[in-house]
Chains A and B, each alone.
Chain A
Amino acid sequence: MNTVLLKIKNIKKKYDTKEALKGVSLDIYKGEILGLLGVNGAGKTTLSSIIATLHPPTEGDIEIDGKSIYNDVATYRYKIGFCPQRPNLHPELTLEQNLRLSGSYYGMSDEEIASRLKLLIKQFDLEQYLHQKANVLSGGYKQRFMIARALVHNPELVILDEPTVGLDPHIRRQLWQQIRDLKALGVTVILTTHYLDEAEQLSDRVCVLDGGLIKLIDTPDKLKADFKMKNLEDVFIALMDNASHT
């Protein structure tokens, strides 16, 4: 887990007068699940959308294999899958069409798409809704489809932006298992969440963002030991309390 997949170097993002990220630097290792934590407005979604190349940074760079991703964004995008906070499936197409088209946009042949879909449909239990349009789905199934679509082209890195927001507890647990399965397959996962139990259960390391800066990065166990707390939620609250007092 020590091979660096992605090097994030001093990323800053400014929206008009607001500075959402004030210089974020971190390394993301191959095969890990990195949890991005923070209160609302901490910069989690901004950072994940910059890593997903949805938005450009105002300053800074992201490197993969020692080269800036911005030198060849298209090649980088073949390596990543992005599941945004809000589902963005095509509403006029069936879910199967959405998945197939997604594969074809990544240059996969029909045979490759078919075999990949077979696997993903089974993995995410999607069979029954395959021929329906996105608007008939419940939040949990929409989210599963979103993750499945992010995985169609077999990416090395998956960015999941708050994938379990608003889901029933049992659906959340199912998605957790699916995220663990991704790790077992060697996929690197960046998981943005504000559910601390989720981050504790799933993450190899957590990165706590506060006011557009990294407060700390470490393994959940190390953080609990350092702060002498029983769970990550207590660590997080202690951290935020410290931040508000300083």
Chain B
Amino acid sequence: MNVSLFRFNDIFWKLVRTHFYIARQQLMGKAINFYIWAFCSLVVMGYIMQEFGLASDYGCFQLATVIGTVGLFEVYGNSFRCIVDFEGDRHISYLLTLPLSPAIVWWSMITSYTLIGIILSLIMLPFGKLLLWNSFSFATVSWVKFVIMLVLANIFYGIFTIAVTAHVGAMSKMENVWSRFIFPLWFLGGFQFSWAAIYKLSQPLAYLFLCNPILFVMEGTRAALLGQGDCLPWGICCAVLCGFIVVGWVYGRYEMKRLLDFV
């Protein structure tokens, strides 16, 4: 049989469709979870905390970060399902014996994580508009920049899932995914503050924060949704995320090979 790139491409999309078909069954439940989280976050930060002196546009700031965070919060669940598979059903091991490169198996998973992340992030936008109403205007949104950032951020989160899963490797260490990776990266990644605010506080600290890829997702999403303002330049956010995608892929693939010992 002809083992061509065309054939690989065909199998790749079949794998993506299968992963997506499975993930789709949980999409509604996930959307409800994120709606609840976004509702709590936007109501508290957009309305209640203003009584304590928060800026009136902080709700919009928070909406942008909520949208940038959705894919990151998917990392835990996706990583959990991968490890359950490694230790139980071993279907991924089966996929690694198919007549294709292992990279195609990993990228099919990354693509399905990316698609689900994009869908879940996108549905937060109209929901945020409903909650914030006059405080948030679509007029400030640069749609092209927003879509590009959304795609790059969710590709990064997909690769991050593979890298973190391979690094953790076992169910007994699963709690490390949240405590050691997702939470610190998210909390220090500009979820509640901008990089400019850190820069004013301490320049060395601000430069140190640039090691955090989530910061670029948050700043880039805010730049696309709310206008450039004092956010990090959108183009630089995209370029740095591309760099993190490459580094994450190289590391993730290496660690996966070490963990699963595939050909």
- Say whether B90 contacts A56, CB under 8 Å: no
Complex interface: chain A residues within 8 A of B1 (CB): 75, 78, 106-107
Q: How far is the CA of A174 from the CA of B96 in the complex (A)?
A: 30
Q: Is the CB of A105 within 8 A of B11?
A: yes
- Given A101-B18, A107-B11, A73:B90 Cβ within 8 A: no
- Given contacts A75-B3, A89-B89, are A101 and B14 in contact (CB under 8 A)? yes
Contact of B94 among A72, A88, A104 (CB under 8 A): A88
- Determine, out of B38-46, B66-74, B98-106, B199-207, the stretch whose residues face the partner at the interface: B98-106
**Contact partners of A75 in chain B: CB under 8 A:** 1, 3, 99
**CB of B9 to closest CB in A, whole Å:** 11
In the complex, whether B192 has a CB less than 8 A from a CB of chain A is no
**Interfacial chain A residues near B263, Cβ < 8 Å:** 53-56, 70, 73
Enumerate chain B residues within 8 angstroms of A78, measured Cβ to Cβ.
1, 3, 99
Is A222 in contact with chain B by the CB < 8 A criterion? no
B97 contacts partner chain A, Cβ-Cβ < 8 Å: yes
Q: Mark A38-58, 1 if CB is under 8 A from B, else 0.
A: 000000000000001111100
A92 to B26, CA, bound (A): 12
Q: What residues of chain B lie closer than 8 Å to A84, measured between beta carbons?
A: 90, 93-94
Q: Which of B241-263 contact A (CB under 8 A)?
A: 261-263
Closest Cβ neighbor of A69 among chain B residues: B263
Residue A186 is within 8 A (CB to CB) of chain B in the complex: no
Instruction: Output the residue of A86, A89, A106, A107 with the most chain B CB within 10 A.
Output: A107
Q: Which residue in chain B gives the minimum CB-CB distance to A149?
A: B94
Complex: A91 Cα to B10 Cα, angstroms: 23
Interface membership of A90, Cβ < 8 A: yes
**Closest B residue, CB atoms, query A77:** B99
Q: Is the pair A92, B25 in contact by a Cβ cutoff of 8 Å?
A: yes
Give chain A's interface secondary structure class: loop
Cα distance A197–B100 in the bound complex, in angstroms: 37
Please indicate the chain B residues that have their CB under 8 angstroms from the CB of A74 in the complex. 3, 99-101
B173 in contact (CB, < 8 A)? no
The interface residues of chain B lying within 8 Å CB-to-CB of A86 are 90
> How near does chain B come to A12, taking the closest CB pair, in angstroms?
14
Q: How many Å lie between the Cα of A54 and that of B102 in the bound state?
A: 11
Closest to B3 in A: A74
Q: Which of A52, A92, A93 has the most CB of B within 10 A?
A: A92
Measured CB to CB, the nearest residue on chain A to B261 is A55
List, in ascending order, chain A residues with CB within 8 A of B90's CB.
84, 86, 88
Residues from chain B with Cβ under 8 Å of A53 in the complex: 97, 263
**Quick one: closest A residue to B26, CB to CB?**
A92
Closest to A80 in B: B97
A82 on the B face (CB < 8 A): yes
Are A52 and B3 within 8 A (Cβ)? no
**Are B89 and A90 touching (Cβ within 8 A)?**
yes
Chain A: CB-nearest residue to B92: A88
Contact B101 A90 (CB under 8 A): no
| A90 CA / B263 CA spacing, docked (Å) | 21
Q: A89 contacts which chain B residues (CB < 8 A)? A: 89, 91
List the B side residues contacting A52 at CB < 8 Å. Answer: 97
Whether the Cβ atoms of A72 and B98 lie closer than 8 Å is: no
Residue of A nearest to B96 (CB): A54
Cα distance, A70 to B18, chains bound together (Å): 28
Interface residues of B in 71-116 (CB under 8 A from A): 89-91, 93-94, 96-101
27 A-B residue pairings within 8 Å (CB atoms): A53-B97, A54-B262, A55-B261, A55-B263, A56-B261, A56-B263, A73-B263, A74-B99, A75-B3, A77-B97, A78-B1, A78-B3, A78-B99, A84-B90, A86-B90, A88-B90, A88-B91, A88-B94, A90-B18, A93-B18, A101-B14, A104-B11, A104-B14, A105-B15, A105-B99, A106-B1, A107-B11
On A, residues with C-beta under 8 Å from B are 52-56, 70, 72-75, 77-78, 82, 84, 86, 88-93, 101, 104-107
Taking A75-B3, A88-B94 as known contacts, 11 extra A-B pairs with beta carbons closer than 8 A to each other, sorted by chain A number, are A53-B263, A54-B263, A55-B261, A70-B263, A75-B1, A78-B99, A101-B14, A104-B11, A104-B14, A105-B11, A107-B11
